Amino acid sequence: MAELSPTALLALAALGGYLLGSIPFGLVITRLLGLGDIRAIGSGNIGATNVLRTGNKPAALATLLLDSGKGAIAALIARFVLAAADVDGLGIEAGLAAGVAAVFGHNFPVWLKFKGGKGVATTLGTLLATAWPVGLAACGLWLLTAVVTRFSSLSALVALTGAPVAAWFLATPVHAAAFALLAVLAWIRHRENLRRLLNGTESRIGAKKK
């Protein structure tokens, strides 16, 4: 690995992160449990919030943990593999590249014709693995906004928008730039939610989608 260029190493980290992130755990879990195709339920999203609309809370929790875990695991594997290979100076960047790529994998999985989820849980997992103080701050923002508004989409946007700001003070400019990219992606992926929030038709946490 030491013979590869830094660009090649980061590309490999990103590829591994994308492939791990592209595993659609929400779809796999709901099918295994006989809950049908999650893409035909509620919002059609493959994430934990939509899995919860099936009424199966354990399935939703499992999806949340696995979706967040794949972002964290991708980042940690990339970082520690390079550290074990004595590649100096690329651990943090490789972890961020893999984590960010995992979010893109979740959002645009090759196995589902690039039609995936919105990447909130995977992003939070990436934040926790690459800069845990920032991850905790983002989780706190999500929880606070969710308690006050009961809108999962709004909670996600508030949390992920605050992440690059928190990273500027609690991590490094590289973290802030990576988290800003993920925040922009989250806003793009939530554009339909934003329309529903503005016209008052967005569903709240715990409400079944009709």
Q: Which of 1-5, 158-162, 165-169, 202-206 has the lowest mean pLDDT?
A: 1-5
Is residue 12 situated within a structural domain? yes
* Contact call for residues 46 and 100 (beta carbons, < 8 A): no
Residue 135 has pLDDT above 50, yes or no: yes
pLDDT value of position 53 = 82
pLDDT band at 98, cuts 50/70/90? Answer: very high
pLDDT of residue 210: 47
In a domain, 210, yes or no: no
Give 201-207 contacts, CB < 8 A, sequence gap 24+: 202/151, 202/153, 202/154, 203/42, 203/43, 204/149, 204/150, 204/151, 205/49, 205/52, 205/146, 205/150, 205/151, 205/152, 206/52, 206/150
In whole angstroms, what is the distance from residue 116 CA to residue 134 CA?
25
| pLDDT higher at 203 or 155 | 155
Is position 47 within any domain? yes
Q: Could you tell me the end-to-end alpha-carbon distance of the chain, in angstroms, rounded to an integer?
A: 52
Whether the per-residue pLDDT at 175 is higher than 80: the answer is yes
Residue indicated by tokens 């909670």: 155
Q: Are 72 and 100 in contact (CB under 8 A)?
A: no
Tokens of 160: 């992920």
- Nearest Cα to Cα of residue 66 among 4, 104, 24: 24
Please state the domain count of the chain: 1
- Does the residue 206 lie in any domain? no
Confidence check: pLDDT of 1 > 60: no
Please give the C-alpha separations between residue 120 and each of 4, 63, 89, 138, 182, in angstroms, as whole numbers: 33, 12, 28, 11, 9
Return the minimum-mean-pLDDT range out of 97-101, 128-132, 203-207.
203-207
Residue 84 lies in a domain: yes
Q: What pLDDT, in 10s, does the model give residues 30-79?
A: 999 998 888 888 777 888 888 888 888 999 999 999 999 999 999 999 98
**Residue of higher predicted confidence among 208 and 110:** 110
State residue 203's pLDDT score: 82
* Domain-embedded: residue 164: yes
Does residue 209 fall inside a structural domain? no
Flag whether 191 is in a domain: yes
41: containing domain: 6-109+118-199
DSSP string for residues in 141-193: HHHHHHHHH--HHHHHHHHHHHHHHHHHHHS-HHHHHHHHHHHHHHHHHTHHH
